[in-house]
Structure 1
């Protein structure tokens, strides 16, 4: 499905998934991820159509981007865990409705605080295909030059189709001069590559931790840098959400 058709189906839900840029936000230049490689990935969908990514951080909570729900009502969306091939009804899938959302001062004009915690309607069953991703400590940093990975079902070229399978690309954290204090920025050094439409909310994995949430990208897709909300700035807030809304032990490290 093209990004344009998806926008029409969502009826404004995706008016600006990639805040601050034209809708050019899938993995460009990546490769097909192997099944089970990213068991924490969530596909956020509307009537069975993927429109944003996310990461399972607790058995009842998914971390995504606030920009994914800039216009629409989260109650109409579903969260799918354990997905791989979006065109098949896989036995590994678990589908949830959204019980509540928590945001922390999201500013769409300045692309600030672009994180959202979704509470699922029930507890996820943790398996080899559905697992938690650990988060960094409060105010932890990821140094420029660090090699990271980002994966998602987004489009693979501007104006193209959503990927049937999650695609992954190796990216490098850029110098602070090419980013902003509240973001982690990445680029691909040797060729065109990066995030594109449909990858909003997907996690940036550095040294095994989800250091970023895909927020916005410069156009055209893959030209970099890509901007991720810096998760470490919100770690204490995330913990407070999980502890306030659930009696279960916090499932992040």
Structure 2
């Protein structure tokens, strides 16, 4: 990447980060996922409305992104597992409150280290609708050109309604010179496709492992590139949190501004 192009990319990244909730991400150009196809998907909800995604990585912990909580207390969020049809009351669902949160040096100005672990108030009951997603080892890489999947309840276009069912799209990992070292970037090259409003925090699954979590996107929804926090850089830290659950409860408090999607 040339110096001028790199500086231009950095300028856009900074503008995107400062935009906060205005920088959004949903599944664009995808297809309806099958029931139980992604049993690790998490719907983070505020007053019954889906606002961000996440992934169940331990019976007590959900992996998502810190940027979901820039302007809202995580203590008021409901963590919903086993959801599929957001417009129905499903017997498969399990609901939890957030007991505590753990972050690792999140920088909101540049959207760096955009990762968060939510500890649930009790252990999830693992079923065919609620399962764990495996994580990559520390410092593992994903080769450019790798085909991955991302799924979520985001809308199909900016400003559109959230999807009733999770939708999934196949994406391709871009070369490192079109991304940042702490991120994995993806695009859909043959048509419009990718993430947009409502899917921040949803996992990027490559070769069966959650290699990324959706952080932000550049350009219009579905045009990309889409930036995912690189989970493998934080695996040792994630394991340290999972192995030492907190005994303290996250205090609930009044909401400030609406929680941002991507």
Q: 1:126 to 1:50 in 2, by over 3 A?
A: same
Q: Deviations over 1:183-205 (max 9, x none)?
A: 00000010011000110000000
Q: Does 1:213 align with 2:213?
A: yes
Q: Which residue of 2 aligns with 1:3?
A: none
Q: What are the residue-to-residue correspondences of 1:101-116 with 2, within 5 Å? A: 101-116=101-116
Q: Which residue of 2 aligns with 1:177?
A: 177
Q: 1:186 to 1:209 in 2, by over 3 A?
A: same
Q: Which stretch shows the higher mean deviation, 172-181 or 237-246?
A: 237-246
**Alignment check: 8 A CA contact 1:21 1:216 kept:** no
Structure showing greater Rg: 2
C-alpha displacement at 1:244, in angstroms?
A: 1.2
Q: Which residue of 2 aligns with 1:243?
A: 243
Q: 1:19 to 1:124 in 2, by over 3 A?
A: farther
Q: Does 1:24 align with 2:24?
A: yes
Q: What are the residue-to-residue correspondences of 1:160-239 with 2, within 5 Å? A: 160-239=160-239
**Alignment check: 8 A CA contact 1:103 1:117 kept:** yes
Q: 1:21 to 1:180 in 2, by over 3 A?
A: farther
How large is the RMSD of aligned CA atoms in angstroms?
1.6
**Alignment check: 8 A CA contact 2:17 2:108 kept:** no
Give the paired residue count.
232
Q: Deviations over 1:125-181 (max 9, x none)?
A: 000000000000000000000000000001110110100000000000000011000
1:221 counterpart SS class = coil
C-alpha displacement at 1:55, in angstroms?
A: 0.2
**Alignment check: 8 A CA contact 2:17 2:109 kept:** no
Q: Does 1:60 align with 2:60?
A: yes
Q: Which residue of 2 aligns with 1:94?
A: 94
Q: Which residue of 2 aligns with 1:147?
A: 147
Partners of 2:199 and 2:98 lie apart in 1 by: 19
C-alpha displacement at 1:24, in angstroms?
A: 2.9
C-alpha displacement at 1:219, in angstroms?
A: 2.4
Partners of 2:115 and 2:194 lie apart in 1 by: 20
Partners of 1:167 and 1:27 lie apart in 2 by: 6
C-alpha displacement at 1:19, in angstroms?
A: 6.3
C-alpha displacement at 1:231, in angstroms?
A: 0.0
1:244 counterpart SS class = coil
C-alpha displacement at 1:107, in angstroms?
A: 0.4
**Alignment check: 8 A CA contact 1:19 1:67 kept:** no
Q: 1:18 to 1:200 in 2, by over 3 A?
A: farther
Partners of 1:18 and 1:138 lie apart in 2 by: 30
Q: 1:174 to 1:197 in 2, by over 3 A?
A: same
